[in-house]
């Protein structure tokens, strides 16, 4: 299987949820930043089987399996960050990295592995103070995946 990966920022918003008292009256609002991402894996080779993608051990849990991926078919993985991490990312304080291991087999049962890093780097415009989030995808070797940081 030859694969093409893409990683995109799909949404960045402030979630506003009311906090109510026992009578149902709104007494305050809870605001939480949510940033959503999409990782696409496109098969541009022959049929692949048992496609398995998993996060690196020290990162938030994410795992997905697809038993068959035909030529030109796309596997889509959605994930998000919220809370303090999302706010720090949105404010330009922190960068984000998620590293994944992708395992799959060809139609003959031969197993393959890829490692990818989905990085989000923050840029602050000096003139306007506006923060920009730049998603970036890198294909890594196994040793690079174990030590990868943004």
Q: What is the pLDDT of residue 61?
A: 73
CATH number at residue 12: 2.60.40.10
Give the per-residue pLDDT at 89: 92
Q: Are 34 and 16 in contact (CB under 8 A)?
A: no
The contacts of residue 65 (CB under 8 Å, 6+ apart) are 50, 51, 52, 53
- In tens, the pLDDT along 80-118 reads 999 899 999 999 998 998 899 999 888 888 898 999 999
- Cβ atoms 144, 115 nearer than 8 A: yes
Q: Are 112 and 105 in contact (CB under 8 A)?
A: yes
Q: Please give the sequence-ordered ranges of beta strands (E in DSSP) within the chain, or none if there are none.
A: 3-20, 26-43, 48-55, 63-69, 74-82, 96-105, 111-124, 131-140
pLDDT (tens digit per residue) in 122-142: 999 989 989 999 999 999 988
Task: Look at the chain and report how many structural domains it folds into.
Answer: 1
Mean pLDDT of 10-27: 92
> Is it the case that residue 34 has pLDDT exceeding 80?
yes
Q: What is the pLDDT of residue 57?
A: 67
Range of the domain at 43: 3-17+26-147
The predicted model scores a pTM of 0.81
């Amino acid at each position: 299987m030859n694969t093409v990966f893409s990683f995109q920022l799909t949404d960045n918003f402030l979630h506003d949820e009311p906090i109510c008292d026992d009578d149902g009256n709104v007494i305050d609002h809870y605001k939480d930043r949510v940033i959503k991402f999409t990782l696409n894996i496109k098969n541009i080779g022959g049929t692949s089987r048992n496609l398995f993608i998993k996060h690196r051990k020290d990162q938030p849990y994410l795992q997905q399996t697809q038993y068959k991926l035909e030529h030109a078919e796309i596997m889509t993985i959605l994930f998000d960050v919220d809370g303090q991490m999302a706010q720090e990312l949105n404010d330009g304080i922190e960068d984000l990295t998620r590293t994944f291991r992708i395992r799959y087999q060809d139609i003959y049962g031969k197993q393959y592995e890829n490692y990818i890093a989905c990085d989000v780097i923050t840029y602050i415009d000096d003139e306007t103070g506006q923060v920009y989030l730049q998603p970036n995808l890198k294909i890594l070797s196994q040793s690079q995946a174990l030590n990868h940081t943004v």
